Structure 1
Amino acid sequence: MTTRSRAVVLEEFGRPLQLREFDVPDPGEMSAVVRVGYAGVCGTDVHLRAGKLPVPTPVVLGHEAVGQVSALGKGLTHDVLGNPLHEGDWVSWLNNVACGRCRFCLVEHQPTLCTGNRKIYGINQSSDAWPHLSGGWSDYIYLQPGTVLVKMPEVATPQQVISLGCAGPTAVHGVLDEVRVRFGDTVVVQGSGPVGLASAMYAQLAGAAQVIVVGGPAARLELTEQLGIGHHHLDIFEVTDPAERVEQVRRRTDGNAGADVVIEATGAPSAVAEAIEYARPDGSISVVGQYTDHGTTPINPHLITRKNLNISGSWGFGARHYIGYVSSLPQLLERFDLGRLVSEYPLTDANSAIDDVKAGAVLKAVLRVSDE
C-alpha cells in the first residue's frame, strides 16, 4: 500500500485550502483504509472554510466520499448489512461515529444528537491528531472502529452514489422520517440545491401527486425540470415577492388550502416563515436547511396554532438514514439521471470547487481523486 497521501487541509478560516501530505497508517482492529475515488463538496464545506462552525484546525475536509478498500483491519470482514468485504471493493460510509452510550444514542434513538463526542469525518477531527487522514478530500481515508461501512450496490456507479453525497441521507431523515409524505399529497420543497432536489425526489418516490420546487436560479430549475425532479418550478429570482410566491403555490393546491407537506431546504431563515404560509391547516413542515446559524427571523406563531401545524426540525442523519439512502439508489436511478447533477474537479482544484459551490455556479461539485 502507498505510504503517503495527499490531503486538502483547512488551516485557517477565511484562507485558501492547502494541499498537504501525510503518512498512511495501517488499519487497526475493526478499522479500514480506503482509497478515495470521489469526494463531494457540500455547502457545509463553504461554511467551514468561512469559520461559521466551531471546528478544530487544521482539518482534512470532506464529509462525503466513496472509494475502494485498500486494507482491512483485524475483525472487519463484513459491511453493516452483512456483505463480505475484500480489498478493492467499492464502499461508502456514514460520515459520523456516534458514541453509542449517551441518552440520545441509546434511549431516544437519535444519534445525530449524540452528546458523547460524536466524531465527524472531514469536520471535527484535527489532522494534527492520529490518524491524521480523517477527511475524504484525500487520496486515502482512515475509517475508525464503529464506522457504518456499506458496500456499494452493483447497479450504481461511484459517481452516481456521490452525486447526492450527504444530501441523500439528509433528505431521507427530513422527508421520510420527520414527516410523512402520503400518496396523493402536494409537497412544496423550498430550495433547489442538492438537499432540496433530494427532498423532491424522495417525495416523488413516496407517492406525492405533485411536488412544487421553489428555488433558483433559472438554469438550475431548467435542469431540474429536464431530470423530472418536481412537477412545477417557481423561480424566486423571477417572483421576488414572498406573498406572490405563496399565492402562486396555493393556487396549485386543493381549494387553495396549501400544501400537505413543506420541506424547507434553503438555509435562509426567512424561508421558515414562508413555509408556514405554504402549509395547509393540519399540514406538516420539516425544517432541514438551517444547518448553520444565519440568525433569527420573525414568524407569526398564531398561524402555527390556528393552522394546527406540525413542525419538525431535522439535524443531519444517522445510520438508518444513510442505509436508507444507499438502499434506495436503485429506485432513484430508475427515475432520475443523478450523474447529470455532478461537475467534476481534480483534487488539486479544491479551492475552485468550493468557490463555485459558494457562487451557486454548479449544482453538485465533486472532487475526482483516484484517477489522478
Structure 2
Amino acid sequence: MRNVKRAVLVKPGSPLEIWERPTPSASGREVIVSVEMAGVCGTDHHLQSGDIELPNPMVLGHEAIGRIAELGSEVTTDAAGEPVQVGDLVYWQPLRPCYSCYACTILGDVSQCPNLVTFQLHQHADKPPVGAYTQYAWLPDRTAFFKVPADVPAEALIAFGCAMPTVLHALDRLGGIQYGQNVVVQGSGPVGLAATLLAHLAGAGSITVLGAPPQRLEMAKRLGATTTIDVTSTNEQERAATVKEITDGRGADVVIEAAGRIPAFTEGLPLVASNGKYVIIGLWGTPGTSPVEPRYLNNHNISVTGSNLTKPRHIYETVQVVRKHHRRFPLAEMVTHRFPLEQAQDALDAVGRGETLKAVIVP
C-alpha cells in the first residue's frame, strides 16, 4: 500500500486538483506501473471543457509509458507473451474489454464491446488510479500491456501516445493506403502527424496536410508531407483548389479527418475523388452535425468510414513502427513541452491553445 498523487478532474470547467490516495499492492493478474511520461491528448481537453459526459471525478490521462513497479502473482508475460519483470518499461492500452461478447469474440473488434471499460471514464478518482496523470498507475486484469524494447526511446514512443494506435486502427478499417495514392490529412496534431508518417511509409504519391500552426506543419514535412496548407491563412475554396491542382483535378484517393472539428468533415467530403475513401478519426469527442447529400456519395462511389478507439495489436504495432523508424524521423523531437504532475492544468491549457506538438506530464 502506498499513497499516490494523481491529477483529478472533479467536474467539467474546473481546474484539475491534485489528490493523494492510497493504492493497494498488485495481486493476481494486476500490475502497478511507475509512470514515466503521460501524454496529454486533445480528448483530455474535451473532457475538461464538457464535450464528453463526466460520470464522476476521474484521473485524467489515457496515454502513458512507465516501469513495472509490482507484478501480481499470476503475471509473467506481457500481452504478446514476452516475459516481463519489475523494472521493465511498458506501454499499455487504457481499455478493458470483456472478451466474452459478440463484438469481442465474433466481430473481433473490442472497440465495440458493450461492456468496455475505458480507464478514465469508468473509474472514480478515489479508486486505485488507472488514468495516466498519476505517479503510479494500476493496470487491472485484462489490460493489454506491452514491453518496450531497450532500443526504443521513451520520447519517440510517447510522442504518438494514443494517436498512432488510433490511426493504425483507422487504416485497417479503411483497407490501407495503396502505393502512389493521393492522400489529404486534415489536422496537424499528433493524430494528423501519425497519419502523415504512416501514409508516407505506405508509399503515398502525395500527402497534403491541412493544419496549423507553422511548427506543426513543419513537423508534418519532416514526417513525409509533400504539401502543407495553413488553415489560418487560407479559406476552404483555396484549399480545395490546391488539392485539385495537386491531384490533376481528381481529388484525393484518401482523406483522413484528424482535425476533431465538425467543419472539417463538411470540408473533407468534397476533397475525396470518385471511388475514393474518407475516414473519420478525430471526431470521437466532438458533438455536432453536418449536412451530407447522399446522392453525392452514391454517384461518386465514395466510401465514408468511422474508426473508434483501437485494438490491442495496434498498441504493439506502434512500438514496432517507432522501433524501426525513430532514427530516420525526428519522432522524439515531437515532445516539445514537459510538465510536472502539479502543473497538469498548465499542460491541458497549452494543448488547448495549440502551442504544443506533444505535451507530456512527468510525474
TM-score with structure 1 length normalisation? 0.94
- In structure 2, the CA distance between the partners of 1:106 and 1:167, relative to structure 1 (3 Å rule), is same
Residue matched to 1:238 = 233
2:124 maps to a residue whose letter is S
Which aligned pairs between 1:1-372 and structure 2 lie closer than 5 A?
3-116=2-115, 118-128=116-126, 130=127, 132-225=128-221, 227-240=222-235, 242-253=236-247, 255-342=248-335, 343-369=337-363
Report SS of the residue matched to 2:35: strand
Single out whichever of 40-49 and 216-225 deviates more from structure 2.
Answer: 216-225
Measure, in 1, the Cα distance between the counterparts of 2:360 and 2:190. Answer: 12
Report SS of the residue matched to 1:122: helix
1:261, CA displacement in angstroms? 0.7
1:218, CA displacement in angstroms? 2.4
Measure, in 1, the Cα distance between the counterparts of 2:349 and 2:29. Answer: 37
Segments of structure 2 that go 5 or more residues without pairing to the other structure are: none
1:126, CA displacement in angstroms? 0.9
**Matched residues, number:** 362
Could you list the per-position Cα deviations for residues 31-58 of structure 1 after superposition, in whole angstroms to 9, with x for gaps in the alignment? 1101010001100001111222123321
1:122, CA displacement in angstroms? 2.5
2:352 maps to a residue whose letter is K
Measure, in 1, the Cα distance between the counterparts of 2:160 and 2:86. Answer: 25
1:235 maps to a residue whose letter is D
**Residues 93 and 150, structure 1, Cα contact 8 Å, conserved in 2:** yes
1:220, CA displacement in angstroms? 2.2
1:339 maps to a residue whose letter is A
**Residues 209 and 220, structure 2, Cα contact 8 Å, conserved in 1:** no
2:190 maps to a residue whose letter is P
Could you list the per-position Cα deviations for residues 295-332 of structure 1 after superposition, in whole angstroms to 9, with x for gaps in the alignment? 11122222211110111000111112222212221233
1:9, CA displacement in angstroms? 0.7
Measure, in 2, the Cα distance between the counterparts of 1:139 and 1:42. Answer: 18
- In structure 2, the CA distance between the partners of 1:87 and 1:230, relative to structure 1 (3 Å rule), is same
- In structure 2, the CA distance between the partners of 1:19 and 1:297, relative to structure 1 (3 Å rule), is same
Measure, in 2, the Cα distance between the counterparts of 1:335 and 1:205. Answer: 11
1:334, CA displacement in angstroms? 3.7
Measure, in 2, the Cα distance between the counterparts of 1:223 and 1:205. Answer: 15
2:20 maps to a residue whose letter is E
Identity %, equivalent residues: 34
Measure, in 2, the Cα distance between the counterparts of 1:244 and 1:315. Answer: 31
Single out whichever of 287-296 and 327-336 deviates more from structure 2.
Answer: 327-336
Measure, in 1, the Cα distance between the counterparts of 2:326 and 2:141. Answer: 31
Single out whichever of 132-141 and 294-303 deviates more from structure 2.
Answer: 294-303
Could you list the per-position Cα deviations for residues 140-197 of structure 1 after superposition, in whole angstroms to 9, with x for gaps in the alignment? 0110000101000222122211110000100101124333201111111010011011
1:210, CA displacement in angstroms? 1.6
1:94, CA displacement in angstroms? 0.7
1:207, CA displacement in angstroms? 1.4
TM-score with structure 2 length normalisation? 0.96
Could you list the per-position Cα deviations for residues 73-109 of structure 1 after superposition, in whole angstroms to 9, with x for gaps in the alignment? 0110001122111101111111101111121111111
1:217, CA displacement in angstroms? 2.0
Measure, in 1, the Cα distance between the counterparts of 2:347 and 2:46. Answer: 14
1:59, CA displacement in angstroms? 0.9
- RMSD (Å) for aligned C-alpha atoms: 1.4
